[in-house]
Amino acid sequence: MVNDIPLETWNKTDESTVLLSLNKNNDGHSKSVYDAYQGRILILFLAFTLLIFTFAISAVDLWSDLGSNDGDQPVQSSLHPIAIVDGHFSFETSEYLVRCAPIVRCDSGNKYRTANGTCNNLNNPIWGSSNTPFVRLVKAHYSDGISKLRVSSENNKPLPSAREIQIRLFLNKQSKIPDKNNQLLMQWGQFIAHDVSNLAVDTDGRDCCLYGPDLPSCEATIKIPVDDPVYSEYNKTCMRFTRAMTSNNYSCPLQPSTFMDDASHFIDGSQIYGSNDYIMTSLRSFTDGTLKSVTADDGQEFCPHSSEESPSGANKYFYNSGDSRINMNLGLALFHNMFMRFHNYVAFKLKSANSTLSDETLFQESRRIVGAVIQHVTYTQFLPIILGKNYTENIILVDSKYDPSVNPSTSQEFSAGAFRVLHNIVPAQQRLVDSNYTTVRVINVTDWMNRPYLLQEQSSNFDNLLRGMLYTGGRSSQHSYNYLISNFMFHPDNSVIGTDLLSYDIQRGRDTGLPPYNKMRELCGLSVAYSYDDLADVIQSDDIYKLEELYDSVNDIDFLVGALLETPEDDALVGKTSRCVIGDFFRRSRTGDRFFYDNDAEHPGKFSKDKLEVIKSISLDHVICATSLVDHLQNNSFTKIDNGWYSSMKWDCDEKYKIDFKPWEEEHCSN
């Protein structure tokens, strides 16, 4: 059949005409010429075949390179600028999986999450579990390729001191523009950060400024300029900084430095319940599914007091919860106590709805509901404000499909970089507001760090602080941290001087090998900056000028520094690179979580339609109404409402914020 096709249609060269004419001759000369041309055709055919084969091999190699992605540039999905990478994360953690990962056996019939997050993914049981590595979106950046802090790409000199960057770029950028959001928004962000990320620090209490590089854990102390506008008054020239623990501290020596997440990577309430069975068991009362608590004289419940005494003196205590950072500030202590109360409230309601349930079932079902509520509040109330409503709806919540090929683990760039940009909305002060909406006390946030006992100092303080955070405007998103946390974090009782959080965050990025800002720009769809002028697409000109003074090369700029200087996107509070990295985590955390409250995964713990409707009706307002004496709330608990002009925009808890537990009654006691 091939002979029916004229040869000219295959080859329009002169040879084709000659060959056609040769077919009409039958003499010996023609035969020899024909044989010669036939040999040429064979050679051409073999050459062409070899060319095709070589091209195919090259294409396969290229595809393999894209799949393994062992360079700086990861493969991006069609949901650009979110960096969801098939196979990329397994590449970054493959050595851990081979050398150090525990063997885990799973029961696919389990209805509830494990405490440590194992067996969420039945094909990859340790994905997202506690004490496993943070994944990287871009390879680690160290000067020696292993652990030494980055140096200038221009001349191998040390990067500018983190404190010098703070002073020259950020410290004087303090804006008091009123914010439409209240202080609960910031606090929810920190509450969620502690749910999915816990980076242990290698410290034994020694002052690293006294030891310096003689101790490996102390080699990254922060140099303070001699003319520092704050610290020079106290003759302070060194800021303490201790390097984070690596996988080496977990009996898993890996290179380059690999960092472990002590929390489960899922949004599962681990900051309340703990990220392992030991902690979870220690927090349970084993009575009617409740968590342990202490009862104050007025009947209010609080988290158990820790056996560790506060350094502030007698009757000063720490709280005990699923995450030790509960005592870091009053807002965190407030949320931990609130959700301990909410768990016990849910357990009581379930017991009332179904008296046949055991303590174990009551505890696990209450935990399942509380975790679902935390997810629902995060994705429907928190993220639309942080990332923008349209972005959240069209990128993060675009579908509810569970994908077992998606690794939900927290990324290093999210934990040590992008999500820390939100420290720019931490307020300097908080108010305690009584039931008459009168401010009864104003406190500096830095004066009450690791001093949580103020919540119980007076019986009304819990509700007064909650009311104050509800009705006080937050710090507007801006290119700086507030002045107090920029100078006086964690100061001891006998001194006003403390730590600079922004310097600390910049240095932690270097410690954990975060890529420079230019690499993150490229990852998130911005053009690579070949000069400082190329930064003008997202950074203001006066800031670009200061960056050029500080850094020897545009390729040296720290990720956090560039991200903090970016102009916020659309209706978001963060710029493009931060939104890209934050969005990446929350998209993967939803898509890669088999137990996520509203996905389509079929498993024994999937909520029934009626129960899911109840979960979706619950907001943070419902939690506040169930756990406090605050009795009137606005429609969105992250929005500031003035009690004078807009008091009519608030609803009574008994009228609007009741939770329906009917689907959990005895006749509906299945999923």
The kind and range of the H/E element at 294 are strand 294-295
Could you tell me where the DSSP H helices lie in 387-448? 389-391, 412-415
* Cα–Cα dist 668/671, whole Å: 8
Tokens 């969620």 sit on residue: 192
* Rounded Cα gap, residues 625 and 429, in angstroms: 24
Beta bridge partners of 201: 244
Q: How far apart are CA 167 and CA 169, in angstroms?
A: 6
Query: What is the DSSP code string of 490-522?
Result: T--TT-S--B-HHHHHHHHHHHTTPPPHHHHHH
Spatial distance between the Cα atoms of 518 and 153, rounded to a whole number of angstroms: 12
59, exposed or middle or buried, with CB in 10 Å at 0-12, 13-18, 19+?
A: exposed
> Could you give the count of Cα atoms lying within 13 Å of 70 in the half-sphere of its Cβ?
7
Q: How far is CA 253 from the centre of its chain?
A: 25
Quickly tell me which residue has 């923008």 as its tokens. Answer: 388
- How buried is residue 664: exposed, middle or buried, by Cβ count under 10 Å (0-12/13-18/19+)? buried
What is the SS3 assignment for 652?
A: strand
- The burial class, CB within 10 Å (0-12 / 13-18 / 19+), for 266 is buried
3-class DSSP state of 160:
coil
SS3 223: strand
Instruction: Tally the C-alpha atoms within 13 A of residue 207's C-alpha that lie toward its C-beta.
Output: 5
Q: What is the distance between the alpha carbons of residues 217 and 242, in angstroms, rounded to a whole number?
A: 6
Q: What are phi and psi of 399, to 5 degrees?
A: -155, 170
Q: Is 541 helix (H, G, I), strand (E, B) or coil?
A: helix
**Cα–Cα dist 373/622, whole Å:** 10
Sequence-distant (≥ 6) Cβ neighbours of residue 227 within 8 angstroms: none
Tokens 């009362």 sit on residue: 285
**Catalytic residue list contains 194:** yes
Residues 6+ apart with CB under 8 A from 475: 179, 186, 424, 425, 426, 427, 428, 482
Cα atoms in the Cβ-side hemisphere of radius 13 Å centred on 133: 29
Question: In what helix (H) or strand (E) does residue 132 lie, and over which residues does it extend?
Answer: strand 132-133
DSSP secondary structure code for residue 4 in this structure? G
333 and 325 Cβ atoms separated by less than 8 Å: no
10 Å CB burial of residue 123 (0-12, 13-18, 19+) is exposed
650: DSSP letter: E
Which DSSP state fits 127?
Answer: T
Among the listed residues 29, 80, 141, 194, the single catalytic one is: 194
- Please name which of 518, 512, 543 lies closest in space to residue 72, comparing C-alpha atoms: 518
Check the annotation: does 141 bind a ligand: no
What whole-number distance in Å separates Cα of residue 380 and Cα of residue 590?
A: 13
Calculate the CA dihedral of residues 541, 545, 550, 555 and round it to 10 degrees.
Answer: 60
Catalytic machinery residues: 194
- Known binding-site residue numbers for heme b: 423
Binding site listing: 423
